[in-house]
C-alpha cells in the first residue's frame, strides 16, 4: 500500500470521530464538515512529509478546530462589528481541549453524529444517504452510484436532507441512560438499513452496491468499540457479518441469485463466520435477547451446516418462535414456516401461512414461499399461480428472475 493510500485509510477511519467532535465544538454541521476538510488537506501535505501522527483523529480535530477558528477571526477582522457570540463557546485552552479528546465524550459525540442522521422526517433511504455522506465520508458520486441515481439527483437529495437536519434542534446535552438506549436503537436500525441497501442488490448492481455492506459492518464495529457491552450491537454486527460471509456464493456465473441450499459453501468466508459466531457467543452471555441476536443466531446455524441437510431446523424453528415473541410479525411467521416445512413437511407449513394471506397478500416473498410449498405438495397449477403472483410483486429484477427459476423447474418437472 502506498503512503497516500495509507493516509487515505487513516483519514476515513478518523472521520466519524473527528467530525463528531468538531460538531460538538461548532454546533453546526457545515462548519464541522468544512473544518474536517481543511484538516484533511493539511494532513495530506504534513503527514506525507513527517509521517502520520500517533493519534490521527486527535490531530485532525485540533487542526480542524484551529483552521475554523482562524476563519472566524479573519472574518471578524473584515467586519467592523466583531461577532463575539460566534466564538464565545470556543475559547477553551488547548489543554482543556486535549483533556476532552481523551474523555469518554467521543462515545456520545459519534452516537450523536449518527443519531442526527436518523431524523424522523427523513425517509429511510435519505437517512442512509446522509449518514454515508456525513459519517462515512463517501463522496456524493459514490453514494449516487450505490443508489443507482445520477450524481446531481443525489447531491440535491443530500443537500435537502442536510437542511432538514440543520433546522432540527441537535441534542447537544449529554444523554441520560434512557435517551442513550433510544438513540442506540435508532442508529442500529439505520446501520442495518445501510447494509440491506447493499445486500438486496441484484447481480447487475452488486458491484456498485456491495461497498455499502462493508461500510455498514465498519460502522457497526465502530459502534461496538464505543458500546462494548451492548448485546444488540453485537447481534447486529454478527448478523451482518454472517450474511456478508455468503457474498461470494450468492450469485452464479450468469448473475442469477443462488438459493442458500444451492450455494457453494466453500465460497463462504470463514473469517467472517468465525467473527459473527464469536459475537453471538459474547452476546448470549448477557442474557438480554433481542431481535438482532436471534436473527444472527439463525444465520449462524445456517453458516455452520457443512451441507444443507446438516442444517439444524429444530433449533431454527425454536429461534423463530423466540423472534415471534420478541417482534411479532407475519413476516417472521412466514420465515418460521420454511423451518416447519423442513421439519413437518409442506402441508403443515402451508397451513401455517394460509392465515397470513390477508396481511401478506401484497408481499413478494409470501407468494414465493407459498408457491414452493404447493410445488412440494404436487399442486402444480396452484404453485404456478403463486409464482406468477410473486413475479408480479417482485421489487427487483433479481427477485423476479429468482422466482422464474422456480417456474422453470416446475415446468421441467411437470413435463418429465
* Choices 53-61, 64-72, 338-346, 370-378 (CB under 8 A): range interacting with another protein: 53-61
Which C-beta is closer to another protein: that of 5 or that of 95?
5
Q: Per the structure block, which three cell numbers stand in for 3? A: 503512503
Instruction: Give the x/- contact pattern for another protein in 169-208, rule: CB under 8 A.
Output: ----------------------------------------
Applying the rule CB under 8 A, the residues between 361 and 390 that interact with another protein are none
Give how many residues touch another protein by CB under 8 A.
Answer: 31
Q: What residues are paired with 87 via a beta bridge?
A: none
Region of 52-60, 367-375, 379-387, 397-405 interacting with another protein (CB under 8 A): 52-60
State yes or no: residue 5 binds another protein (CB under 8 A).
yes
- What are 196's three cell numbers? 440491506
**Extended strands (E) in 7-165:** none
Whether the CA torsion 222, 227, 230, 232 is positive or negative: it is: negative
Told to check if 1 binds another protein by CB under 8 A, we report yes
Contact 365, 373 (CB under 8 A): no
- Nearest alpha-carbon partner for 129 in 159, 106, 167: 159
Q: State which of residues 114, 279, 298, 393 lies at the interface with another protein (CB under 8 A).
A: 279
Q: Going residue by residue from 231 to 260, which x/- string records binding to another protein, judged by CB under 8 A? A: ---x--x-----------------------
Q: Which of 73, 160, 270, 285 binds another protein (CB under 8 A)?
A: 285
DSSP 355: G
DSSP 236-299: HHHHHHHHHTTGGGSB-TTSPBPPGGGS-GGGS-HHHHHHHHHHHHHHHTT----HHHHHHHHH
Shortest distance, position 219 Cβ to another protein, whole Å: 11
Q: Which of 180, 25, 34 is nearest to 115 (CA)?
A: 180
Binding residues among 311-350 for another protein as defined by CB under 8 A: none
Say if CB 164 and CB 121 are below 8 A apart. Answer: yes
For residue 345, the SS3 value is coil
Site string for another protein, 211-230 (x = CB under 8 A): x--x---x--xx-xx--xx-
| CB closer to another protein out of 105 and 382 | 105
Taking the complex as a whole, the smallest distance from the CB of residue 13 to another protein amounts, in Å, to: 4
Q: What is the spatial distance between Cα 151 and Cα 49, in angstroms, rounded to a whole number?
A: 34
- Using the rule CB under 8 A, is 163 a contact of another protein? no
Q: According to the binding rule CB under 8 A, does residue 100 interact with another protein?
A: no
**Least distance between another protein and beta carbon 31 (Å):** 25
Among 34, 42, 55, 312, binds another protein (CB under 8 A): 55
Q: Give the Cα separation of 21 and 57 in Å (integer).
A: 9
Q: At what angle do helices 140-147 and 151-167 cross, to 10 degrees?
A: 110
> Which of residues 227 and 363 has its CB atom nearest to another protein in the complex?
227
Q: Which of residues 6-35 bind another protein (CB under 8 A)?
A: 6, 9-10, 12-14
Applying CB under 8 A, does 274 fall inside the site for another protein? yes
Alpha helices by DSSP H, 119-167: 124-134, 140-147, 151-167
Closest approach of another protein to the CB of residue 198, in Å: 13
Measured CA to CA, the distance from residue 243 to residue 274 in angstroms comes to 12
Q: Which of 41, 75, 278, 381 binds another protein (CB under 8 A)?
A: 278
In angstroms, the CA 296 to CA 329 distance is 17
Residues that bind another protein (CB under 8 A): 1, 3, 5-6, 9-10, 12-14, 52, 54-56, 211, 214, 218, 221-222, 224-225, 228-229, 234, 237, 271, 274-275, 278-279, 282, 285
Amino acid at each position: 500500500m502506498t503512503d497516500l493510500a495509507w493516509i487515505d485509510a487513516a483519514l476515513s477511519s478518523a472521520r466519524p470521530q473527528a467530525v463528531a467532535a468538531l460538531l460538538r465544538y461548532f454546533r453546526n454541521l457545515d462548519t464541522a464538515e468544512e473544518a474536517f476538510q481543511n484538516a484533511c488537506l493539511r494532513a495530506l501535505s504534513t503527514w506525507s512529509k513527517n509521517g502520520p501522527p500517533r493519534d490521527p483523529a486527535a490531530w485532525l480535530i485540533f487542526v480542524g478546530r484551529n483552521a475554523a477558528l482562524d476563519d472566524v477571526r479573519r472574518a471578524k477582522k473584515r467586519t467592523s462589528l466583531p461577532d463575539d457570540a460566534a466564538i464565545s463557546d470556543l475559547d477553551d485552552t488547548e489543554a482543556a481541549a486535549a483533556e476532552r479528546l481523551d474523555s469518554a465524550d467521543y462515545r456520545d459525540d459519534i452516537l450523536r453524529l449518527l443519531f442526527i442522521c436518523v431524523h424522523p422526517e427523513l425517509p429511510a433511504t435519505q437517512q442512509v444517504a446522509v449518514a454515508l455522506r456525513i459519517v462515512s465520508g463517501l463522496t456524493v458520486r459514490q453514494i449516487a452510484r450505490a443508489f443507482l441515481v445520477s450524481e446531481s439527483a443525489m447531491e440535491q437529495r443530500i443537500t435537502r436532507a442536510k437542511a432538514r437536519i440543520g433546522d432540527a434542534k441537535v441534542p447537544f446535552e449529554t444523554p441520560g441512560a434512557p435517551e442513550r438506549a433510544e438513540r442506540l436503537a435508532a442508529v442500529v436500525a439505520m446501520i442495518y438499513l445501510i447494509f440491506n441497501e447493499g445486500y438486496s442488490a441484484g447481480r447487475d448492481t452488486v458491484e456498485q452496491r456491495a461497498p455499502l455492506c462493508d461500510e455498514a459492518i465498519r460502522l457497526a464495529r465502530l459502534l461496538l468499540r464505543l458500546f462494548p457491552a451492548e448485546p444488540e450491537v453485537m447481534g447486529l454486527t454478527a448478523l451482518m457479518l454472517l450474511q456478508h460471509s455468503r457474498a461470494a456464493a450468492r450469485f452464479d456465473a450468469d448473475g442469477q441469485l443462488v438459493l442458500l441450499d444451492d450455494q457453494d459453501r466453500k465460497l463462504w468466508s470463514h473469517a467472517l463466520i468465525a467473527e459473527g459466531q464469536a459475537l453471538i457467543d459474547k452476546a448470549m452471555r448477557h442474557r438480554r435477547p433481542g431481535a438482532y441476536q436471534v436473527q444472527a443466531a439463525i444465520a449462524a446455524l445456517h453458516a455452520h451446516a457443512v451441507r444443507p441437510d446438516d442444517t439444524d431446523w429444530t433449533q431454527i424453528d425454536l429461534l423463530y418462535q423466540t423472534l415471534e415473541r420478541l417482534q411479532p410479525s407475519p413476516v417472521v411467521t412466514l420465515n418460521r414456516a420454511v423451518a416447519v416445512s423442513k421439519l413437518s413437511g409442506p402441508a403443515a407449513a402451508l397451513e401455517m401461512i394460509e392465515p397470513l394471506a390477508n396481511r401478506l397478500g401484497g408481499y413478494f416473498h409470501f407468494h414465493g414461499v407459498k408457491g414452493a410449498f404447493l410445488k412440494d405438495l404436487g399442486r402444480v397449477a396452484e404453485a404456478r399461480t403463486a409464482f406468477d403472483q410473486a413475479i408480479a410483486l417482485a421489487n427487483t429484477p433479481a427477485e423476479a428472475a429468482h422466482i422464474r427459476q422456480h417456474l422453470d423447474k416446475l415446468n421441467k418437472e411437470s413435463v418429465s
